[in-house]
Structure 1
Amino acid sequence: MGPRGRLPVVIAAHLFVSAVIAGVFAWRFGQNPRVVLSHLVLVAEWDCVLLVLPAAVFRWLLTATCSAQVYLYVLDAVSNASWGRNVTGHLVVAFAPTVWSGQEAFPVGKPGITLFFGGTFVLIAALIWLVSRGADVALRRQLGTARTLAIAAAAVVGFGATITWGVGQRDNLFWKDELLASFFRPVGYAFEPTARRHAVAERDAVLQASYPRHVPGARRTNVIVVIVDSLRADHMQVYGYQRPTTPFLSQLVSSGRMKKVDMAFSTCSESFCGITSTLAGREFRDISARTFQLQDALRDEGYRTWFLLSGNHTAWNGLPQFYRADEGTLFDGSQTQRYTMDDDRLVLEGLERVPPASADRPAFFYVHLMSTHYLGVQFPRSHVFTRPDDSVDPGEQPYAILDQLQKRDRYDDKVLQADGVVHDLFEAFAAKHYLDDAVVVVTGDHGEGLGERHWAHGWHLYNEDIRIPMLIYDVSRAKYQDLSFATQVDIAPTILDRLGLPIPASWEGQSLLTRTPTRFTYHQTYFLPNRFAVIYRDGGDLYKFISTPDYGKEELYDLIHDGGETHNLVEQEPRLAAVLRDKVRSYRDE
């Protein structure tokens, strides 16, 4: 084939493959088919820019373009398969350094990443060199320099205008899931923009605007919420575990200064929805960065809000916008000068920057600990159930060694370590006089699979995944009427009720200062395939119904008599199963 015939083949092949891949994404991940057209428009406009370039520049830029598309398609495939949404440049930039260093979990290490990126580029470069020799020269000779420059300028302007417009059209069906526009959106969007979330946010704006300021008689008590990542209640001494894993918390409960909720559950089995549900007092389907949250209500009441967070929260998809922290009040693992980002000692480093308590202005603290997460750093002194020389670095492929990172003895070591960090936090807060008058909640964002049925977290809703501790330190005479059952969404309403502040009408949780003998609570996974659960509490009975629609699987468990969830009662209890099945269906359909 001569030079004149090669150019149309190269460009047509590029457009065809791009359209096919966009179509596969639309089909496989339920995206609107219109995104195929918008994706094709962007690729075609960019190809018009490349058409008028000199031969060498054309080949290298087309190689870079095709390689970048392959990288983007692979990342989008992983992101859609795991979270049901396209990847963004914000996330790639934020997590690339920690993925490369091995601090964040990734299926392959440095050699695999290098081979994929380098090998892809070399293969595409070789293919394009073979089929495009002389192709652009023929076109430039036909059009002339002036005309080709005009085409190039128009193509650049057109591409820039189109991609800029597409980036801003988050709710437009042509652009919502378009792969390139999604990538260039300035902020990662873990809160999928749904009509329901939009309506909730609009209602919350009205509720917050009318929320009373400086309520007469309200108690200006300091509030501290400590969330321990991946902490299971059934591996804590304070919850009856046979090993002494929580000596400090157990002592507080025994003394009567700390209350314990017997059966507490997270709304999901992943950090993002667990954290946001705790602070927003509602299920994840109703949460966005615009909802009215606990820290907002307290800030409006005159509280200073602080965030001391182990882990890389500033990089996570949408969390900084959700926290809405004032400048200088958020300290996380990206800012530590002494430790690595998943080392819980950094929260004490951050607390050093906080001024002593003020009688004129109460404070709210959200503290996040990583000790019990498989990426959490185990301190050298924290080898009680493991040998001192039994240390495991998550390294570059933590998923491949979860059985070592989270084996029972090591997990128990890290529960004990978390208890020690909480002890150190209490001492540090007391030294700054924040505990002189305070309510402290210690809880988890979700549980952790330790090999019973699976490892890690995020994909299931069994007790190992969502049964968490809920401990309330409160030396006042406040009477907590119902400590037998609760979920994360109850924490924020309980705190406001304890302070004498009104609970926003949009919050779905219940205050533990009042009794709620009959209740249905809803839970779901953040990762795909979606699983849904409803927990039914009726007096002393507690049942969990789990539905996995993609697999056609249903499970029903008596949580009082079968905490290990080994006996599926769907066939034995058809009436109860039917009621809870309808609850799950209604929840999904709303």
Structure 2
Amino acid sequence: MHPFLTLSVILCGLAFTAIARSAEPIRNVLFIIADDLKANALGAYGNEICQTPNLDRLASRSMVFDLAFCQGTWCAPSRQSLMHSRYIGNRGPTLGKHLIAHGRYSARVGKIFHMRVPGDIIDGTDGRDVPETWTERFNCKGQEAHTPGLYRLLNQNIETRAPENRQSTAMPHRMFVSVESDGDGSAQPDWKAAEKAVEILQARADSPEPFFLAVGFVRPHYPSVAPAEHFRRYPFEKVPAPVVPEGDINDIPKPGRAPTTSEGCGIAKFPDNIRKMRADYYATVTFMDEQLGKVLDELDRRKLRDSTLIIFTSDHGYHLGEHDFWQKSTLHEDVIRVPFLISAPGMKTGRTRSLAELADIYPTVCDLLGVPIPESAQGESLKPVLQDPEAKVRQAAFALNPPKGHAIRTDEWAYMRYRNGEEELYRMSTDPGQIENLASRKELAGTKRELKRMLDEKVAQATK
């Protein structure tokens, strides 16, 4: 090697070592989870319509996981899974309880374990919270569908400002409600969650005790409630409808179909309202993003950024008319793929196609904090990926819907197997919308056999 190059390599190595040594150790954790937020609603995942400037700037300082997947396909099992790092059940300490045992203050603001939305939000109740997870916990009430403002029930094509007869808790059409709320949004649960999180950061900034702060926003979970100005950003005419080819669901087995369809719920009669549903969803994503920005700003203001691990995700994705499906609880990409950002001081930023599961959050937090990972955890630490985005910690990601079936997702393939033996198989590189089910293709028998083997291994692990 040329002497000059040798000297340059040495100097660069010394500089890197100095930077690594000067990096402040990770003391704190800020965990932020949105509700029912699909990955492709965000600019960081290619959406060119929905405005999320605060998530965009967090993404610029994070490792963005392009292939991150939930384990439960609706709120309760997904949140239990990620907080225990278990595929099924609640064996072992929760993440918060484990961190308390290792000297950390642990606080919940808003929805972390399952809460009924809107029911527990209206009542201000704890839902399925696990109290020993937290040193302190705070619920964030809101009026939800009863919020004063312009109310829409889009599958019935109703629009009114009247406060009576609004679809709310446990009512059959509640998932198609939007409210352009009067006022500045300060009565909304996500605004209150952000304000309480800011208060906690202010109180903990100079404490010698490190913290684990979990902030749960409820938007964009239905009802789509936000200040009117947010809805004006998204005229429905400028929001594309989902592309649904003729006969799209004919090759989707019945167990693989969503319980709520465009035809079944009535919204198919009002095609513009399908676009309005998507526009209103974006409005609440933008409102949630604004509240997230307040928390990130306070973290910077208190000079906590360099010592705080930030994780942002959602409990699962959401159907917004794809395949004519609505809501969640399927094993399709729109539901199981989630946004997943990790901003870790001293680690790399950028993007990775390394597969990740929400079950990996718990062991990753422990690994980065230097806390032992409990034997009960079934996830993998993603620290190797944060050091090198080309690193792989797993061959496949696993998603479960025990009443119906399970799914395995590799970089190239998505495979679903249902309890009645029916299957779905999609080549994701050429069919990201999962339009053509290839499960019956004879030439793919070998591929399917390998995916079955991987799925069987994951099912066996899940039931240990």
TM-score normalized with structure 1 length: 0.53
1:548 and 2:418 aligned: yes
Which residue is 1:386 aligned to?
A: 234
Unpaired segments ≥5 residues, structure 1 = 1-217, 389-398
- Bigger helix share: 1
5 Å matches for 1:120-135? Answer: none
C-alpha distance in 2, partners of 1:447/1:467? 6
Which residue is 2:246 aligned to?
A: none
- 1:224 touches 1:366 (CA, 8 Å); kept in 2? yes
Which residue is 1:442 aligned to?
A: 312
When residues 406 and 459 of structure 1 are mapped into structure 2, their CA distance, relative to the original with a 3 A threshold, is: farther
| Deviation readout 1:19-73 (Å, 9 max, x if unpaired) | xxxxxxxxxxxxxxxxxxxxxxxxxxxxxxxxxxxxxxxxxxxxxxxxxxxxxxx
5 Å matches for 1:174-253? Answer: 219=25, 221-253=27-59
2:405 to 518, 527, 531: 531
SS at match of 1:329: strand
C-alpha distance in 2, partners of 1:323/1:377? 32
C-alpha distance in 1, partners of 2:187/2:453? 44
Aligned-partner residue type, residue 196 of structure 2: G
Superposed displacement of residue 244, structure 1:
4.9
SS at match of 2:323: coil
Which residue is 1:369 aligned to?
A: 217
| Deviation readout 1:88-139 (Å, 9 max, x if unpaired) | xxxxxxxxxxxxxxxxxxxxxxxxxxxxxxxxxxxxxxxxxxxxxxxxxxxx
C-alpha distance in 1, partners of 2:435/2:275? 25
Superposed displacement of residue 368, structure 1:
0.9
RMSD of the alignment, in Å?
A: 3.5
Which residue is 2:450 aligned to?
A: 579
Aligned-partner residue type, residue 516 of structure 1: K
Which residue is 1:329 aligned to?
A: 137
Superposed displacement of residue 334, structure 1:
7.5
Aligned-partner residue type, residue 428 of structure 2: L
Which residue is 2:191 aligned to?
A: 345
- 2:235 touches 2:279 (CA, 8 Å); kept in 1? no
Superposed displacement of residue 273, structure 1:
1.6
C-alpha distance in 2, partners of 1:542/1:417? 34
1:498 and 2:307 aligned: no
SS at match of 2:330: coil
Unpaired segments ≥5 residues, structure 2 = 1-23, 112-116, 145-183, 237-263, 268-272, 385-390
Superposed displacement of residue 324, structure 1:
3.2
Aligned-partner residue type, residue 407 of structure 2: A
Superposed displacement of residue 242, structure 1:
2.0
Superposed displacement of residue 352, structure 1:
5.4
1:509 and 2:379 aligned: yes
Which residue is 1:306 aligned to?
A: 107
2:336 to 453, 457, 466: 466
| Deviation readout 1:262-319 (Å, 9 max, x if unpaired) | 2111112211122222222221x1x32x5222212211111111111155377565x2
Superposed displacement of residue 409, structure 1:
1.7
2:83 to 238, 256, 279: 279
- 1:269 touches 1:457 (CA, 8 Å); kept in 2? no
When residues 372 and 588 of structure 1 are mapped into structure 2, their CA distance, relative to the original with a 3 A threshold, is: same
1:415 and 2:285 aligned: yes
Equivalent pairs, count? 352
Which residue is 2:397 aligned to?
A: 521
- 1:270 touches 1:457 (CA, 8 Å); kept in 2? no
When residues 252 and 387 of structure 1 are mapped into structure 2, their CA distance, relative to the original with a 3 A threshold, is: same
Superposed displacement of residue 477, structure 1:
4.0
Which structure's relative contact order is higher, taking Cα pairs within 8 Å and 6+ residues apart? 2
SS at match of 2:285: helix
Superposed displacement of residue 580, structure 1:
2.4
Aligned-partner residue type, residue 435 of structure 2: T
- 2:94 touches 2:133 (CA, 8 Å); kept in 1? no
When residues 583 and 335 of structure 1 are mapped into structure 2, their CA distance, relative to the original with a 3 A threshold, is: same
When residues 250 and 220 of structure 1 are mapped into structure 2, their CA distance, relative to the original with a 3 A threshold, is: closer
Which residue is 1:561 aligned to?
A: 430
- 1:223 touches 1:363 (CA, 8 Å); kept in 2? yes
C-alpha distance in 2, partners of 1:476/1:236? 26
Superposed displacement of residue 252, structure 1:
3.5
Which residue is 1:357 aligned to?
A: 205
Which residue is 2:8 aligned to?
A: none
C-alpha distance in 2, partners of 1:280/1:272? 12
C-alpha distance in 2, partners of 1:347/1:359? 21
Which residue is 1:195 aligned to?
A: none
1:270 to 70, 74, 79: 74
SS at match of 2:130: helix
When residues 444 and 304 of structure 1 are mapped into structure 2, their CA distance, relative to the original with a 3 A threshold, is: same
Superposed displacement of residue 493, structure 1:
1.4
SS at match of 2:382: coil
- Bigger strand share: 2
Aligned-partner residue type, residue 68 of structure 2: A
| Deviation readout 1:221-248 (Å, 9 max, x if unpaired) | 1101111111111121111222252222
C-alpha distance in 1, partners of 2:131/2:446? 41
| Deviation readout 1:456-507 (Å, 9 max, x if unpaired) | 4332011111111111123424689965321101112111111122222221
SS at match of 1:250: helix
- 1:534 touches 1:580 (CA, 8 Å); kept in 2? yes
Superposed displacement of residue 359, structure 1:
3.9
- 1:482 touches 1:513 (CA, 8 Å); kept in 2? no
